[in-house]
Structure 1
């Protein structure tokens, strides 16, 4: 089905105005681009300020989610580090006893080193988690914006360049 007017495009999306373009509708709009006539694609491209507003809202939402995640993560990490500090303090207190055998001292020293290694591993795991989260959030917002722009602009550019080519 060819979409021959801007109103047909809005009707297919189930919206009255481009201001009603939701996250889900942007993806649907991208999928519809090949079905649109060239003139309709151009009119949709003219609506990019509305799509840009959507992208800004989406990025603002992702930023808020990221700030919330960072805040929660920071509190969680503080608890983890506090727990390891308390464990090390207890081991150090045991190591200060005079009645320990050399084997007990070695064991407690090994335990002390294990807590440091585990805390370091937990810190690295946390950094990887944050890195993955930021990448996924950035990709999802960026993909919506880029796909919309590419689908609209790229399709029109391809049609224009095909019309300019001579066999």
Structure 2
């Protein structure tokens, strides 16, 4: 048996659904999979702004995601431009006729090291995007999305026409 309405209120530390702040709404959404469908529906009926809040949260996550990507893209372009500038300088030095073999070898090693640094930076950036943005999405919208999807899927299954509603 899932959580009752009283148990949910205790876990959220509220006395009334009117006291459900945005912060506590995220916690509420995270609890939805542990609730009976009827309990979740009863609570949501008492809080009609839930759907609006869920949509607003998803929109804010999208804005943060786009802003982070844009900022990250600009930063990455600057870093890659700096690496490219260093390679151009090294190529110019390598073109000089009066270099010894050891000097040429040293410059070639610097170019190779530059390439390794570019590759490492690319890997770090991918790790950043994967980790940080993933956490933002999971923290901010994951609980609401999971709760809404869970509840919606459970309702459709209980109504027995979930497959028909999905267009299958």
TM-score by length of 2: 0.68
Deviation at 1:26, TM superposition (A): 3.8
Report the alpha carbon displacement of residue 74 of structure 1 after superposing the two structures with TM.
1.1
CA distance in 2, matches of 1:57, 1:128: 28
Aligned-residue CA RMSD in angstroms?
3.6
Secondary structure of 1:13's counterpart equals coil
For residue 116 of structure 1, what is the aligned residue in structure 2? 115
- Runs (5+) with no aligned partner, structure 1: 155-167
Question: 1:138: how far off?
Answer: 2.2
Using the size of structure 1 for normalisation, the TM-score is 0.68
Does structure 1 conserve the Cα–Cα contact (< 8 Å) formed by 2:26 and 2:143? Answer: no
Aligned to 1:74: 73
Tell me the distance in 2 between the aligned counterparts of 1:65 and 1:82.
26
Give the match for residue 96 of structure 2: 97
Q: Give the conservation status (yes or no) of the 8 Å contact 2:26–2:144.
A: yes
Higher-Rg member (1/2): 1
Q: Which ranges in structure 2 are unaligned for 5 or more consecutive residues?
A: 155-168
| Aligned 1:15-164 pairs, distance under 5 A | 17=18, 21-27=21-27, 41-47=40-46, 50-140=49-139, 141-147=141-147
Displacement, 1:131? 1.4
Cα distance change of structure 1 residues 128 and 48 upon mapping to structure 2, 3 Å threshold: farther
Number of residue pairs aligned between Structure 1 and Structure 2:
149
Q: Structure 2 CA distance, aligned partners of 1:147 and 1:32?
A: 5
Distance 1:32 1:93, change over 3 A: closer
